[in-house]
A and B are shown apart, each in its own frame.
Chain A
Amino acid sequence: MSFADKYEMVCGVETHVEMATKTKIFCGCSTEFGGAQNTHVCPVCLGLPGVLPVLNKEVVNLAIKAGLALNCEIAQFSKFDRKNYFYPDLTKNYQTSQYDLPICKSGWLDITVNGTNKRIGITRAHMEEDAGKLVHSGETITTSNSSGVDYNRTGVPLLEIVSEPDMRSIDEVLVYLEQLVQIMDYAGISDCKLEQGSVRFDINVSLRLKGAEQFGTRTETKNLNSFSSVRRCLEYETERQAEALDDGEEIIQETRTWDEGRGMTLSLRSKEEAHDYRYFPEPDLMPLVIDRDWVERIRASMPELPAAKKARLQALGLSEYDAGVIIASKAMAAFFDQALARIDDAKLLANWVMGDLSGLLKTNGRSFEDSPVSPEQLAGMLALIKKGDISGKIGKTVLEEIYNTGKDPEMIIKEKGLVQISDEGELGKIVDSILAANEKSVADYQAGKESALGFLVGQVMKATKGQANPGLVNKLLRDKLAQ
């Protein structure tokens, strides 16, 4: 009996998102990524004796925004708590976080996996500060002669989003995470740069026999920072648990770590040695009272989120697949919307955005964020195609010219003489000469070989350097061949 026939996985995820504020959560230091070690620090984020935290209001704004994007209840009364634990990357040896009264709770996120819709519960989302980073002289803390601490990241605001254990397959987990990250990106909560660690995942997973009611014992694997790691980790961990269960072993509730190099999870600490964080209300910060006006102001400022955007694009005639591809990238979707304001043909636009322009950008290692072709230029070029001034084929040339020179499409067409030949008399002469020069093809066509026509069209296009109106060429050829 295979794994999937026997067991069902139960998974919930805690996602840490670095919020996109300019300054840290409790002081005015910069949150910018990079920078020489310990340059974005002050007495407050270093936790020096006597310092006090002052809450950055923008963090609260973003947390509320995230809560609204995830259909959460926004608490009217929220507070910060201290989570006490001891580690050299933690300046105060406690983390200021939220415990029993988080700012957001009881939300959800709808996902679609293989055409099936599913609602994943969001238990809560709370604000907290990030810790610093240990820098070892060697590979690990235990094998290094010395270790330094970089506190630049200390105090960077985090939103921890905790899901319900609602996911039952690795695909569901990945779709949930991808959509979650996309929402955070769209809502402007975070820059969502996974490669810079601005989103991290803790994966809770257990197995139970198919049809069983009770959850099995779970493990928590901490600090995964890519979708592929999540997939590999879940593949490994479910397999490990299944083997253990098959052998009649008990799963130990424990915290594990993912070893990317070895492709396996390793035990970090068990429940018995689990930390007692000794949470208590942060006495240096006042409780947070959030009035409804505040929430409504933020609700009114919410940008269009991916799901709504996708539905709108589908309503404009795009296929689900196309709409999905476009919204998958916030920059591409923004580009699309800006161009759409100038060209009333979503399908045509989608083809060019997803096809030629994407291809050009990809070849040159660029993205829609820094596209040399502006949405206005693309829309302008597409308008010329629709008007019949240029062919689609010429369009490709024009697009490349825009890309390389930054010039507007009209100017390129004028300069290069790329205007489409739609003059019947002029084209008729060219067609005649092509027919005269290709007697064999003419005979083939007349003998019923339809493909010969394509060859003749190609010859006309070649002779006009692609400027001939293809529809007209077709019509003229057919007319003349029928004579």
Chain B
Amino acid sequence: MTIFKSLEELHHMLVQKEISCVELTRAYLDYVDSADCWVKAFLTVTADSALTKATEIDKKITAGESLGPLEGLPMALKDNMCTEGIPTTCGSRILENFNPPYNATVTERLNAAGAVLVGKLNMDEFAMGSSTENSGYYPTANPWHLDRVPGGSSGGSAACVAAREVPFALGSDTGGSIRQPAAFCGVVGLKPTYGAVSRYGLVAFASSLDQIGPLTTNVKDNALVLNTIAGHDPKDSTSVPFVKPDYTQFLEKNVKGLKIGIPDEYFASGLNPDVAEVIQKAIRTFESLGAEVERCSLPHTEYAMPAYYIIAPAECSSNLARYDGVRYGYRAEADDMSEMFKKTREKGFGQEVKRRIMLGTYALSSGYYDAYYLKAQKVRTLIKQDFDRAFAKYDVLLSPTAPTTAYKIGEKSDPLAMYMGDVYTIPVNLAGLPAISVPAGFVDGMPVGMQLISKHFDEGTLYKAAYAFEQNTEYHLQMPALLKEVR
């Protein structure tokens, strides 16, 4: 099938006029039509505007203008990134009818690069969750096994890329929300350095942790997308002015001499033995490629989880206070103002969101601030220092992305059990570091992800290591069986 290709191949097809942009866009839209009734990755499909944009691109091609690497290529965005005039629900009923009057910076940059938006993707409500079961609309399925979760909260983004409904999608990662679903769905997911990609127009969950990143089927595509979305944005005060490299220049198969640290704490109890075995095999692959692999320690890892579940809910309790039914979104009928606020929030928010708002409100309240929030921030500093020490010795750290493969929809009813799924990804967000999840093997037919972590703004080294691994293995070439059926 024409469309199951990488960004580079699709770009080539357009340039060589093997296919027009309208044909390509239609092919993807048709495929989304047939596949998404199974996967349910999309909340909104923007067929009309996609075809309009494709027509414009075709004019450019006819005029003989050169095309940028993403120009004319389909994409989809997690539904927490603002798109002017296109619904942006954040997976929540409370934003059901919200059409933002402005674009997120990533939306602007991708639009300017000529990428064609085909739709907005499902997610755990306000990015809170690790399975996309917490969407206010419907759960998304894992294309590898439709009764399994795709992971979360960027489950829609990971699933639609895994099902090849689009060649790339953007997700957001607050505690692992790009990497964990990437691992569950067998795709490449990058959480960039905090401050490398603008958060302007990303509906906030936990401002000090959120970061937007690309999900793709291979490492090179990932670097191409990062090339477009990364860079300083004056609209985001936490965006860092840094010299953005061409990330594709780091892609080489040679990792001789690369120093890789294996943190002991990421291989402790709770890690599924089969997943552990897959990762051990991946480590051996790196060794065989000439990397120097060594065990190391990140001693404060066990405190990352509790610290995260103070900081993230604290920030969310404040960020979500604006959803009160006054100015936009859903409003409940009530006799007076206070009652309207209460009912709007009672009906508009789901269980997990309410749970975290309450946790965060409690943690910030006077009398508990020092014991919880302040303490958590101190832990955060210790976690950062752990990483600083490690990166004085190693180029990258390697770990499983998640302790298990994708579990069954409805299997984890205990929120704490679900929180444990992010145990290896959360420390990275607390430290603001970049990390990537790449397909590393399978357990019982379900993908396993390997996480690589590097120091701030060293995405290049991540891509280098990930690309070398990818090019020396074949996991990324496998596709879910579903695809054959739908075809």
List the interface of chain A (C-beta within 8 A of B): 43, 46-55, 82, 84, 86, 88, 91-94, 141, 149, 276, 278-280, 283-286
Contact = CB atoms under 8 A, between A and B. Distances in A.
A16 B383 CA distance: 41
A191 to B, nearest CB: 28
A55 B100 contact: no
Interface in B364-381: 364-366, 369, 373
Given A49-B90, A54-B236, A86-B321, 14 more contacts: A46-B327, A48-B328, A49-B88, A52-B235, A52-B237, A84-B318, A84-B364, A86-B341, A276-B365, A280-B364, A283-B238, A284-B207, A286-B237, A286-B238
Nearest to B366: A276
A51 B201 contact: yes
A93 B321 contact: yes
Chain B contact residues: over half helix, strand or loop, or mixed? loop
Contacts of A94: 318, 321
A88 B328 CA distance: 12
Nearest to B80: A50
A92 B321 contact: yes
A441 to B, nearest CB: 84
A54 B90 CA distance: 23
B95 interface: yes
Given A49-B88, A283-B208, A86 B324 contact: yes
A157 to B, nearest CB: 16
Contacts of B235: 52, 54
B295 interface: no
B200 A285 contact: no
Contacts of B321: 84, 86, 92-94
A50 B82 contact: yes
A91 B364 contact: no
B242 interface: no
Interface in B165-212: 199-204, 206-208
B237 A55 contact: yes
Given A276-B366, A284-B238, A49 B82 contact: yes
Interface string B301-326: 00000000000001101100110101
Ranked 9 nearest A-B pairs via Cβ? A93-B321, A278-B364, A283-B207, A283-B208, A49-B203, A50-B201, A50-B203, A50-B82, A92-B322
Contact of A50 (B202, B326, B369, B373): B202
A50 B237 contact: no
A50 B78 CA distance: 13
B364 A93 contact: no
Interface residues of B, number: 43
B237 A278 contact: no
Interface in B225-253: 234-238
A438 to B, nearest CB: 85
Contacts of B236: 52, 54
A225 to B, nearest CB: 25
B153 interface: no
Contacts of B206: 283
B20 interface: no
A51 B206 CA distance: 13
Contacts of A283: 206-208, 238, 315
A48 B103 CA distance: 12
Given A43-B101, A278-B366, A51 B200 contact: yes
B323 to A, nearest CB: 8
Contacts of B98: 49
Contact of A48 (B90, B100, B341, B361): B100
A50 B101 CA distance: 11
B104 interface: yes
Nearest to B201: A50
B358 interface: no
B334 interface: no
Interface string B58-101: 00000000000000000000001110000010100001001011
B337 interface: yes
A60 to B, nearest CB: 13
A293 to B, nearest CB: 21
B473 to A, nearest CB: 38
B288 to A, nearest CB: 43
Among A141, A149, A280, the one with the most B-chain Cβ atoms within 10 Å of its Cβ is: A280
Interface in B405-424: none
B105 to A, nearest CB: 9
Contacts of B101: 43, 48
A49 B327 CA distance: 11
Q: Which of B80, B104, B315 has the most C-beta atoms of chain A within 10 angstroms of its own C-beta?
A: B315
A91 to B, nearest CB: 7
A237 to B, nearest CB: 27
B124 to A, nearest CB: 16
Contacts of A50: 80-82, 88, 100, 104, 200-204
Contacts of A279: 364, 369
Contacts of A86: 321, 324, 341
17 contacts: A47-B322, A48-B100, A49-B98, A50-B80, A50-B82, A50-B204, A51-B201, A54-B235, A82-B318, A86-B321, A93-B321, A94-B321, A149-B326, A280-B315, A280-B318, A280-B364, A283-B207
A236 to B, nearest CB: 30
Nearest to B320: A93
Contacts of B203: 49-50
Contacts of B327: 46, 48, 91, 149
B100 A278 contact: no
A76 B428 CA distance: 30
A278 B200 contact: no
From A84, A86, A276, A283, residue with most partner B Cβ within 10 Å = A283
Most chain B CB neighbours (cut-off 10 Å) among A46, A49, A54, A283: A49
Contacts of A51: 200-201
Given A84-B321, A92-B321, A280 B369 contact: yes
A155 to B, nearest CB: 14
A91 B319 CA distance: 11
Contacts of A55: 237
A280 B310 CA distance: 12
Contact of B318 (A43, A88, A278, A285): A278
A279 B235 CA distance: 24
B322 A93 contact: yes
Contacts of A280: 314-315, 318, 364, 369, 373
B61 to A, nearest CB: 33
Nearest to A278: B364
B309 to A, nearest CB: 16
A284 B207 CA distance: 6
A131 B100 CA distance: 22
A52 B319 CA distance: 11
